[in-house]
């Protein structure tokens, strides 16, 4: 049976890529194809991983927030000035919504994960919902937002084209869609190919494939940029796995920080203070940063010298041919 491309709907024969991936929990092999019509790499089958997979891939993130430099938010703030009503689809831990509110945007977010929503609500109270785009459309909220963001979302979806077209309907005329996806051309030294593979990521992108996809969804592409990494971001790429491992180990040996009532006196149970854990996390971050500074600086110097493709793409597109307010000219990544 000929696989169908989820980004353009083409069912013509697609060149088979060499990678095969086995998912033990599903007892299933995933194959990668490159669409001959639009150039998007896609998985066969287009099947999301079982519940709990992402918790295994990202253990301990909640305990150590802010590990990753948020280049996506910084790029958005530079390109799209406030004030603006913004909806962050797949808001995760709520960091972008929190930062956008501080910058003067009327920001809100939505996600499917109860755990992430619970954390996001602490950063942006009253601004987070457990809802899909379809839910907003059913509530008659089409044309309600000046901008919609989908940061690191498209590559996880089994229906990316349908989702992008629904996002289009949420926007006002001239409204903006900001998207980030991993760049499949990214230098292997700067990317984690294990994460950028099925079933974690069901599609892979380059600038041409992303531009054509957004145009098919009804957008006019204003710019596509490749992520440029700073020394601080490279340092975080070395320290983040160490911090995640430390957080996971702490959860195994000490259990999660309790938010319930204190245990009764004399029971021998004692709740671990959250402040103590934060202090330990801060100390570990300093130690790991000191250990990783030299290799991170060496990698940064190599990037300055050879200018490889970065690990991700940022795209900004408008709902109509009306050019929205933007602080950069329409360009496409090299």
pLDDT in tens, 278-303: 677 677 777 877 777 777 677 667 66
Is 81 domain-assigned? yes
Residue whose entry in the numeric block shows the structure tokens 């300093």: 286
pLDDT tens digits along 161-178: 999 999 999 999 999 999
The reported pLDDT for the residue numbered 193 is: 60
The reported pLDDT for the residue numbered 306 is: 60
Residue 166 CA to residue 133 CA, distance in Å, equals 7
Task: Look over the chain and give the mean of its residue pLDDT values, rounded to a whole number.
Answer: 78
pLDDT tens digits along 62-91: 444 443 448 899 999 999 999 999 999 999
The reported pLDDT for the residue numbered 267 is: 45
pLDDT tens digits along 10-23: 987 677 776 666 66
Residue 152 CA to residue 175 CA, distance in Å, equals 20
Contact 111, 91 (CB under 8 A): yes
Is 166 domain-assigned? yes
| Domain with 142 in it | 57-229+308-319
Specify the DSSP class assigned to residue 147. E
Is 175 domain-assigned? yes
What pTM was estimated for this model as a whole?
A: 0.74
Is 161 domain-assigned? yes
Total count of domains within the chain: 1
Cβ count within 10 A of residue 137: 15
Is 241 domain-assigned? no
Percent over 70 (pLDDT), the chain? 65
* pLDDT of 248 above 80: no
* pLDDT of 323 above 70: no
Is 95 domain-assigned? yes
Is 329 domain-assigned? no
Is 127 domain-assigned? yes
- The domain spanning residue 82 has which CATH number? 3.40.50.150
């Amino acid at each position: 049976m000929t696989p169908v491309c989820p980004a353009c709907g083409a069912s013509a024969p697609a060149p088979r890529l060499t990678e095969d991936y086995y998912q033990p929990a599903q007892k299933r092999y995933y194959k990668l194809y490159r669409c001959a019509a639009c150039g998007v790499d896609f998985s066969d089958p287009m099947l999301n991983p079982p519940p709990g997979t992402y918790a295994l891939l990202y253990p301990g993130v909640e305990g150590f927030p802010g590990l990753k430099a948020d280049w996506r938010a910084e790029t958005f703030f530079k390109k799209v000035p406030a004030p603006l009503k913004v909806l962050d689809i797949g808001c995760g831990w709520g960091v972008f919504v929190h930062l956008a509110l501080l910058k003067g945007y009327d920001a809100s977010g939505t996600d499917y994960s109860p755990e992430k929503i619970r954390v996001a609500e602490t950063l942006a109270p009253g601004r987070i919902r457990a809802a899909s785009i379809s839910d907003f459309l059913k509530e008659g909220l089409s044309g309600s937002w000046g901008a919609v963001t989908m940061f690191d979302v498209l590559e996880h979806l089994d229906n990316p084209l349908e989702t992008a077209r629904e996002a289009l309907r949420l926007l006002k005329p001239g409204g903006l869609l900001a998207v980030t996806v991993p760049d499949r051309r990214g230098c292997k030294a700067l990317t984690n190919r294990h994460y950028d593979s099925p079933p974690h990521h069901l599609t892979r992108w380059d600038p041409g494939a992303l531009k054509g996809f957004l145009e098919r969804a009804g957008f006019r592409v204003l710019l596509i940029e490749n992520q440029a990494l700073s020394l601080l971001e490279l340092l975080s790429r070395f320290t983040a796995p160490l911090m995640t491992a430390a957080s996971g180990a702490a959860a195994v040996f000490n259990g999660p920080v309790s938010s319930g009532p204190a245990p009764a006196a004399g029971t021998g149970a004692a709740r671990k203070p959250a402040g103590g854990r934060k202090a330990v996390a801060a100390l570990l971050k300093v130690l790991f940063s000191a250990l990783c500074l030299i290799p991170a600086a060496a990698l940064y110097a190599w990037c300055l010298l050879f200018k490889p493709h970065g690990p991700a793409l940022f795209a900004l597109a408008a709902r109509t041919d009306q050019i929205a307010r933007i602080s950069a000219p329409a360009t496409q990544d090299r």
